[in-house]
Structure 1
């Protein structure tokens, strides 16, 4: 087996630091239940389906080397997307092309479609956005 891991980052110190933050017991291992959160903490964007698949393929407690193998899996993870990707996503729901989307509609989309968010997660997302007119200006 080839142990030469190709890191996505030239230094794995950030990965080690993130891993150690999730190592609550200080034993050099984390629970596989934390793998999705840890992957997101280091900038990956795994889907719930990918997380389930990963959790089924790894032991209950995993060490840093196993985490690196998951992180560097052959097919990788989908990218988070850039600004233009998010604009195109909003435009699907903006039938009148106004650059605005209703807060209620946005909440419905985020809590009912795709990778569903909780109401608390949506509240956190919207807390710094001007929604006083009942709409979110996604265009600018």
Structure 2
């Protein structure tokens, strides 16, 4: 009977010796092995859990009505607009509002998407599309708030 490679890896990592002195290691260099083994063990344990939960959450809910995504997105956009207006403060100038919109859109939202997309192994093109959309969204928020006040 063949064993799956993950099971073999799991057994090998758990059976690996603890962080002890390594004969070829120089005494002044830090021992990376002390951090590597717990990190590998954590990845072995969290990998199947993440894939099982992520696979379940990615499926579409057939009971959800078709227009629910638009309504929920509108609520999230309003929350983002009011939060940005609060963060921007009263009576911002137009250049300040536009610069804050660029920082919030690209520096906060798109950068956070980039972190998530790297762990989800999504393409950089998809990140550019989604991050660019939110960058433009916050630039428009800044334009409206800068012209309004």
Task: Tell me the TM-score normalized by structure 1.
Answer: 0.28
Structure with larger RCO (C-alpha < 8 A, sep 6+): 2
Task: Tell me the TM-score normalized by structure 2.
Answer: 0.26
Structure showing greater radius of gyration is: 2
Greater per-residue strand proportion: 1
